[in-house]
Amino acid sequence: MSGSSPAEVVPAVAVCVVGTVLAGLRWLRVAQREHYLPGACGRFAVRWWMIRPANLVLGALAVAAGVLAVWWPVAAVLTGGVVAAGPLGLSLRGRTSPLAWTRRLRVLASVVVAVEVVVLAVGAGMEAVLGTGAALTVAAAVGALGAPFAVDAALALTAPVERRAAEVFVRRAAERLARVDPVVVAITGSYGKTSTKSAIVNLVATDRSVVGSPASYNNRAGLARAVNEHLTEGTEVFVAEMGTYGPGEIAELCRWCPPKISVITAIGPVHLERFGSEDRILEAKSEILEGAETVVLNVDDPRLSALADRLAAAGRSVVRCSASDTGAHMGADVVVEGARGGGGAPVTLRVFGEVVGVAGGLPPGVHPGNLACAVAVAVSLGIPVATLAPAIARLPDVDHRLSATRSSQGFAILDDTYNSNPAGCRRALAVLAAVAPRGAASPVGSEGSATGDPAGEGTSGRRVVVTPGMVELGPVQRAENEAFATEAARVAADLVVVGHTNRRALLAGAARGGMATVVVEHREEAVAWVRAHLGEGDAVLYENDLPDHYP
């Protein structure tokens, strides 16, 4: 380091401070969207700066300028400027997920400021000792470059405080549960939780007063809020969706919201980057079974089938559910077989040997295996099987989970934007593939491959898939997205790839399948492309949708 004049130091420090503030706003938004999980901002920062060539070049320049500032402090102006402007594509305000200045975010922002002030104070202290303005300038550059990691540090520091602050709401929820005393039905799984919960609520409502946790309120804070705001006196059944990002979370939920009936819908690679393996996912999800009188498992999943055998051998009450009554699944206690998508195709319901026919196919978003779990819960609660058939026929679509509409231009729309798992993507492609020509009878086939026209009429025209791909699949993410695009090529003419997160994998898979591709930055551009290119008799599948804090 060498001596530096104020004319060099002041502008460099000022630009870096401005850059730090603007970057902090970006990464605070990411933290909020990622449920305030420590480490999330650092992971997303790496993705954003590495995934686009322009960002990679800018990031390298910013780091190089920060290093150069050791000898030439004014170079830090470039560092601050790049951090203020980038990463390119990550906006300050957000299109789909704007920053909401909640109490928790205000506390977090205050701690982030304190962390950054400490960094500057260290630089100032070094300057006083070394007698050079370069120390303060370098500290300002480090603060700007390290903005996402400062947010992560603040998340780690505030996590224990926030947990204690939430205790009052958890205690209130536990007290309300004890006072109202409903039968608690708890649901978890890598996917299928929300649609299974919806089906349970609709089936049980034919005979009981039932409340389900809304939307995806499936963590500690969300479930406590669901109880405090929605559980009313006289409620007989409370259906609680429970999610997890790690071991111990579901066990903690069950301590104050103890289930009588527990359901696991499926085990898959969702959140694999957090868990590391599907066996660890199974272990974490299985926490929901402790203490439950009745265990409902979808044995179409081999891991859950093996778990069912182990629990039954240990004397637990297990209800095995399936979408097939053939092969390895023969002997399942509750089986739902039939077509999804309406069109009059019958559904067969088998409950402990009793066979009931259900007129009309299932809505596209209702998966037979998930419905079997819902039926098992209803029967375990004492709902007569005879009353379930008409209730099944009236099951509504679950929003954004293969819900079906038709555009004003006449093309069919399958909205599966809340889905991000390989099994669900395959089901969605099967529904798209089975859309019938207008006026034709709806096809009937095995689970996961048959449907009538999801929008009430048919199409024999052009099929398009719009997707950003699947996320949080860890080491299998690229392979799964490539496979999905290759499979899409078998049923659709065009693949519209949204964003950068899985662009390479999707394009590679589409190329392997010989599929035409279109690349857009945002979902709004994809919607505009669809409206410009599709018309009467065509169909589009919107598969998954990522908020704009993803690159």
Domain of 409, CATH number, reads 3.90.190.20
**pLDDT confidence bin for 450, thresholds 50/70/90:** very low
User: Which residue reads 């929605």 in tokens?
Assistant: 230
User: Rounded mean pLDDT of the chain?
Assistant: 88
Determine the Cα–Cα distance for residues 255 and 345; give it in Å rounded to an integer.
43
The reply to whether omega before 87 is within 30° of 0 (cis) is yes
Q: Kindly tell me if the per-residue pLDDT of 412 is higher than 70.
A: yes
Kindly list the distances between the CA atom of residue 111 and the CA atoms of 25, 28, 167, 410, in Å, as whole numbers in the listed order. Answer: 13, 11, 21, 53
One domain, residues 147 and 288? no
Q: Is residue 398 part of a domain?
A: no
Helix, strand, coil percentages (3-state) for the chain, rounded to 5, are 50, 15, 35
Q: Which of 146, 174, 151 is nearest to 253 (CA)?
A: 174
Give the residue with greater pLDDT, 95 vs 109: 109
One domain, residues 449 and 472? yes
User: Which residue reads 């092969």 in tokens?
Assistant: 327
Residues of the chain with pLDDT > 90: what percent?
67
β partners of residue 297: 264, 320
Query: In the prediction, which pLDDT does 30 show?
Result: 96
Q: Is residue 454 part of a domain?
A: yes
**pLDDT confidence bin for 550, thresholds 50/70/90:** very high
Contact 217, 241 (CB under 8 A): yes
When pLDDT is averaged across residues 373-399 and rounded to a whole number, the result is 88
Q: Is residue 334 part of a domain?
A: yes
- Residue after which a domain boundary falls, among 344, 371, 393: 393
One domain, residues 97 and 189? no
Q: Kindly tell me if the per-residue pLDDT of 440 is higher than 50.
A: no
Please, is 407 exposed, middle or buried when counting C-beta atoms within 10 Å of its C-beta (0-12, 13-18, 19+)?
A: middle
Q: Is residue 170 part of a domain?
A: no
How many helical (H) and strand (E) elements, i.e. helices and strands, does the chain have? 19, 15
- Residue after which a domain boundary falls, among 393, 421, 450: 393
Kindly list the distances between the CA atom of residue 527 and the CA atoms of 136, 292, 407, 464, 542, in Å, as whole numbers in the listed order. Answer: 49, 45, 11, 11, 9
One domain, residues 42 and 146? yes
Q: Is residue 168 part of a domain?
A: no
Domain count, the chain: 3
One domain, residues 379 and 411? no
Interior/surface letters 42-69, b for 16+ CB within 10 angstroms, e for the rest: bebbebbbebbeebeebbeebeebbebb
**pLDDT confidence bin for 392, thresholds 50/70/90:** confident
One domain, residues 353 and 479? no
Local structure of 344: helix, strand or coil:
coil
One domain, residues 48 and 98? yes
Query: In the prediction, which pLDDT does 534 show?
Result: 94
Give the residue with greater pLDDT, 548 vs 360: 548
Would you say how long the chain is, in residues? 551
When pLDDT is averaged across residues 212-234 and rounded to a whole number, the result is 91
When pLDDT is averaged across residues 259-271 and rounded to a whole number, the result is 91
Query: In the prediction, which pLDDT does 502 show?
Result: 96
Query: In the prediction, which pLDDT does 148 show?
Result: 98
Residue 96: other Cβ atoms inside 10 A: 14
Domain CATH number, residue 335: 3.40.1190.10
Q: Kindly tell me if the per-residue pLDDT of 442 is higher than 50.
A: no
Q: Kindly tell me if the per-residue pLDDT of 420 is higher than 70.
A: yes
Contact 265, 191 (CB under 8 A): yes
For the chain, report the end-to-end CA distance as a whole number of angstroms.
38
Query: In the prediction, which pLDDT does 364 show?
Result: 65
Contact 259, 184 (CB under 8 A): yes
User: Which residue reads 């990002």 in tokens?
Assistant: 245
Q: Is residue 517 part of a domain?
A: yes
> Would you give the DSSP letter of residue 500?
S
**pLDDT confidence bin for 55, thresholds 50/70/90:** very high
Local structure of 192: helix, strand or coil:
coil
- Residue after which a domain boundary falls, among 371, 393, 415: 393
Query: In the prediction, which pLDDT does 444 show?
Result: 30
Determine the Cα–Cα distance for residues 40 and 246; give it in Å rounded to an integer.
14
Residues of the chain with pLDDT > 70: what percent?
90
One domain, residues 237 and 369? yes
One domain, residues 389 and 407? no
**pLDDT confidence bin for 496, thresholds 50/70/90:** very high
Determine the Cα–Cα distance for residues 524 and 499; give it in Å rounded to an integer.
11
Q: Kindly tell me if the per-residue pLDDT of 495 is higher than 60.
A: yes
One domain, residues 448 and 486? yes
**pLDDT confidence bin for 3, thresholds 50/70/90:** low
Give the residue with greater pLDDT, 366 vs 317: 317
One domain, residues 445 and 313? no
Determine the Cα–Cα distance for residues 182 and 209; give it in Å rounded to an integer.
9
Q: Cα dihedral sign for 382, 385, 387, 393? A: positive
The model's pTM: 0.85
Determine the Cα–Cα distance for residues 410 and 534; give it in Å rounded to an integer.
9
Write out the residue range of the structural domain in which residue 421 sits.
403-543
Q: Is residue 173 part of a domain?
A: no
Lateral strand order in the sheet of 516-520: 403-406, 412-416, 539-543, 463-467, 494-498, 516-520
One domain, residues 238 and 316? yes
Q: Is residue 382 part of a domain?
A: yes
Determine the Cα–Cα distance for residues 152 and 18; give it in Å rounded to an integer.
20
Contact 263, 296 (CB under 8 A): yes
Query: In the prediction, which pLDDT does 170 show?
Result: 96
